Amino acid sequence: MIQMDAFEAAAVLAQARQGDTEAFRVLVEHHSQAAFRLAYRMTGNEQDAEDVVQESFLRAYRHLGRFEQRANFATWLHRIVVNCALDVLNARRAKREQMKETLDVANSVAAPRTDRPDRAAEGSEITARVALALDQLTPQERAAFSLRHFEGRSIQEICAALGLGTSAAKQAVFRAVKKLRASLAPLHRQEFRS
């Protein structure tokens, strides 16, 4: 990742807005890791995350003229990434509804290699339950949760990225945490019994 101070970032952004493709490449290099982390946490799939990042930067490039200089480029880009990831999640959900009978989350999670089969089965079960719990969240809740707890974004940044008011952003994070706790509670109880 390329490190830039605020002055350098503003200069590179201004050049990119004037059509300098090399300057836009610098922006891509500077922001691609954060964009990928967010996309991966939202989609839960590396290939989908790569597709989301690529589409996000294409959209950002096409709409760079709409970007307001006084705004934060990273926040603007996060909003684009969230929207692209939501598109992928909505498409995935529609496809899953068409093929519901063939979906088996437990079989889609590969068991880790280990010398102890009981540990491998336990790890696979935990992974499957966490994936299933995240999948039960609405796209907005998943985005808000990922931004807050995986990316460490503030409520104001979540508001900007998702286009929500403060109370709506807080509620989305709260609902996500509450749903995840409820879904994963059996794992917590099971841990104490072992």
CATH of 1-103, one of 1.10.1740.10, 3.40.50.2300, 3.90.650.10, 1.20.140.10: 1.10.1740.10
24: Cβ contacts below 8 Å, ≥ 6 apart: 16, 61, 64
Confidence at residue 101, expressed as pLDDT on a 0 to 100 scale:
44
Q: Tell me if the pTM is above 0.85.
A: no
Nearest to 77 by CA among 49, 58, 50, 51: 58
Confidence at residue 172, expressed as pLDDT on a 0 to 100 scale:
92
155: Cβ contacts below 8 Å, ≥ 6 apart: 148, 166, 169, 170, 173
Output the CA–CA distances (angstroms, integers) from residue 140 to 85, 102, 127, 131, 159, in the order listed: 10, 26, 22, 16, 11
pLDDT along the chain (194 residues), means of 10: 74 89 93 94 92 96 84 90 92 69 38 51 70 84 86 88 91 90 76 53
Structure tokens, 120: 């491998």
Tally Cβ neighbours within 10 Å of residue 49.
Answer: 23
Reduced to 3 states, what is the DSSP secondary structure of residue 182? helix
- Alpha helix stretches (DSSP H) within 44-154: 46-62, 73-98, 105-108, 117-135, 139-145
**CB–CB of 163/185 below 8 Å?**
no
Residue matched to tokens 């979906």: 103
Confidence at residue 107, expressed as pLDDT on a 0 to 100 scale:
36
Expressed in angstroms, the distance from the first to the final Cα of the chain is 43
Nearest to 88 by CA among 128, 53, 126, 43: 43
Nearest to 127 by CA among 175, 184, 189, 182: 184
Confidence at residue 48, expressed as pLDDT on a 0 to 100 scale:
94
Query: What are the structural domain ranges in the chain?
Result: 1-103
